[in-house]
Amino acid sequence: MAAPGAAAPGMAAHAAAAPDRTTSPDATVSPAAAPVRLLTGFAGFGAGSVNLAISSSMFASSGAVEPARLLAGVLAGLWGAALFAGAVVFLAKERLVGGRWTRYALSSAAAVHLAGIVFTASGTPGLGLTQLSALLLTLMVIASVGWLGRSGDRRQRMATSPQAAGMRPGRLLLAAFAGAVLVAGIATPGLAASTAGQYAVPHGGHGNLAPAGHHQR
């Protein structure tokens, strides 16, 4: 008869055979999770900037200010600010604010940008390119968030350190740099084509005399 404090042989064998959650495949995080998460945040910042540029183009467009254009400018500005805030929360807490509702909002925004490319408003030159940049960045956010959800990273809620993600700091830094360059390469043409970009002062031109007295000192 076994001692009262001793475990039965069958129970001991069952406990030894129980899988360890810390070493099971479900608990592992893909090495690509950390750079993809950073890319998601960068794309969110870029999409927010481009949407703010769209808002400025709506307000500064030539011709009479129509109620529909005014409403579009307000919505674009609010959506751009929401993308900024969502990107900050996503990078800080490693979760998507709003869950599936945010996914629906992103998909709806992509459809709106696509419609904006097809039906570009008159009096807003370059707005089609700005809408294209916003569309590509929004699709980038959707794709990267979907990848993270499928890989199980969102359920694990683990730290973004290179050790937890299985990636060396040097490689993570290179991946972050590549993601930032990619987002900048998509966002910069859209920002330059907007009304705000057309009136921006070139680098090194601050304080110099410009034609028609623009930014003169």
DSSP labels for 27-74? G---TTHHHHHHHHHHHHHHHHHHHHHHHHHHHH-SS---HHHHHHHH
Give pLDDT tens digits along the chain (217 positions): 445 555 455 544 444 444 444 333 444 556 778 889 999 999 999 999 999 999 988 887 655 567 888 888 899 999 999 999 999 999 988 778 778 888 999 999 999 999 988 887 555 557 889 999 999 999 999 999 988 888 764 455 444 444 444 568 888 899 999 999 999 999 999 999 887 777 666 655 555 544 454 444 4
pTM to 2 decimals?
0.72
Pairwise CA distance, residues 201 & 217, whole Å = 13
* Structure confidence at residue 122 (pLDDT): 55
| Maximum alpha-carbon separation in the chain | 102
Q: Is 160 helix (H, G, I), strand (E, B) or coil?
A: coil
* Structure confidence at residue 164 (pLDDT): 45
Pairwise CA distance, residues 50 & 82, whole Å = 12
Pairwise CA distance, residues 80 & 44, whole Å = 9
Is residue 52 left, alpha or beta, with left meaning phi > 0 and alpha meaning psi from -120 to 50? alpha
Under 8 Å between Cβ of 182 and 189? no
